[in-house]
């Protein structure tokens, strides 16, 4: 186990609704990244938070937003849900210092189904 | 052992064989690479990483090879076991890329039969 936890495990929403997913990073880590993984595909980078600031963003619309808290835990919010948002949402935590990159450890994910 | 020269979506091996999983990456500026193992219903599990100043790195039963000339990465698993059955992804990142975003390749499903 990585020490990265996510909640909830599963979630069912309907189109147009809003959802908040949560992630607790591994102890000692200061960076959280969020990924979307569609069925049968590799994870796709949504955005990353470093010391409570967004530190990079992938090709996702503004209705995907996030937060990082002082204890380095994080939330992913998705507004106006669409059917294509159905996926496994993964959170990964890591320790970053300057430009040094280190391994990212993933949580178990939240399975979101949009009906 | 069985190896593949190009990326294939699936690889089937016998228990005890050596497995080689290949990955081609796209960004010549990528300088950090990670292999992940993902079992059904779980998040990706870190296996091994390598930086671009190296061409080989070994872990427990696993070896990663990096060929920057042809932008190719491979994962070798020695004495493959049924518990190694999973989807394997390579991931790359580069300086200047959004934060420390990982870009994932197409996965390879490894099936180990006993």
Position A105 scores a pLDDT of 92
Q: Measured between beta carbons, which residues in chain A are less than 8 angstroms from residue B39?
A: none
DSSP assignment of A28-51, as one string? T--EEEEEEE-TTS--EEEEEEET
Q: B95 and A99: CB-CB below 8 Å?
A: yes
Position B95 scores a pLDDT of 67
Q: What are phi and psi of B26, to 5 degrees?
A: -105, -25
Q: What pLDDT band is residue B8 in, cutting at 50, 70 and 90?
A: confident
d(CA A101, CA B54) in angstroms, rounded, equals 15
With 80 as the cut, is the pLDDT of residue B6 above it? no
Q: Measured between beta carbons, which residues in chain B are less than 8 angstroms from residue A48?
A: 98-101
Position B1 scores a pLDDT of 37
Position B3 scores a pLDDT of 35
B26 at the A interface (CB within 8 A)? no
With 60 as the cut, is the pLDDT of residue B5 above it? no
Q: Measured between beta carbons, which residues in chain B are less than 8 angstroms from residue A31?
A: 99-100
Position B101 scores a pLDDT of 86
Contact A21, A9 (CB under 8 A): no
Position B4 scores a pLDDT of 33
Task: Name which of B7, B22, B14 is nearest B79 in CA terms.
Answer: B14
**B110 three-class SS:** strand
A101: nearest CB among B42, B43, B100: B100
d(CA A40, CA A43) in angstroms, rounded, equals 10
**B6 three-class SS:** coil
**B5 three-class SS:** coil
Count the neighbouring beta carbons within 10 Å of the beta carbon of residue B69: 7
pLDDT tens sequence for chain A (115 residues): 678 999 999 999 999 999 999 999 988 888 999 999 999 999 999 999 988 999 889 999 999 999 999 999 999 999 999 999 999 999 999 888 766 667 889 999 999 999 9
Position A98 scores a pLDDT of 65
Pairing of strands B30-38, A64-68: unpaired
Q: Measured between beta carbons, which residues in chain B are less than 8 angstroms from residue A104?
A: 34, 46, 100, 102
Contact A110, A75 (CB under 8 A): no
Q: What is the pLDDT of residues B33-92, one digit of tens each?
A: 999 999 998 999 999 999 999 999 999 999 999 999 999 999 999 999 999 999 999 999
Q: A45 and B100: CB-CB below 8 Å?
A: no
Task: Name which of B83, B78, B94, B101 is nearest B37 in CA terms.
Answer: B83
A26 at the B interface (CB within 8 A)? no
Residues 6+ apart with CB under 8 A from B97: A56, B27, B29, B103
Distance in Å, alpha carbon of A42 to nearest chain B alpha carbon: 6
Among the residue ranges A37-41, B10-14, B26-30, the one predicted with the least confidence is B26-30
Among the residue ranges B5-14, B17-26, B53-62, the one predicted with the least confidence is B5-14
């Amino acid at each position: 186990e990585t020490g990265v936890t996510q909640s909830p495990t599963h979630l069912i929403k309907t189109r147009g609704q809003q959802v908040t997913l949560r992630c607790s990073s591994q102890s000692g880590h200061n960076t959280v990244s969020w990924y979307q993984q569609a069925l049968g595909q590799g994870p796709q980078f949504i955005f990353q938070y470093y010391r409570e600031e967004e530190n990079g963003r992938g090709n996702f619309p503004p209705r995907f937003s996030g937060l990082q808290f002082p204890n380095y835990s994080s939330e992913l919010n998705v507004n106006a849900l669409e059917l294509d948002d159905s996926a496994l949402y993964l959170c990964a935590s890591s320790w970053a210092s300057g430009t040094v990159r280190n391994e990212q450890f993933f949580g178990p994910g939240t399975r979101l189904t949009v009906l | 052992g069985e190896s593949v020269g190009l990326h294939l979506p699936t690889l089937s091996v016998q228990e005890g064989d050596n497995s080689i999983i290949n990955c081609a990456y796209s960004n010549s500026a990528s300088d950090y690479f990670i292999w992940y193992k993902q079992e059904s219903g779980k998040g990706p599990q870190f296996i091994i990483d390598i930086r671009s100043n190296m061409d080989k790195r070994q872990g427990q039963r696993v070896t990663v090879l990096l060929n920057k000339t042809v932008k190719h990465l491979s994962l070798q698993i020695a004495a493959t076991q049924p518990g190694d059955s999973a989807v394997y992804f390579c991931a790359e990142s580069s300086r200047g890329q959004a934060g420390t975003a990982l870009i994932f390749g197409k996965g390879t499903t490894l099936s180990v039969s006993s």
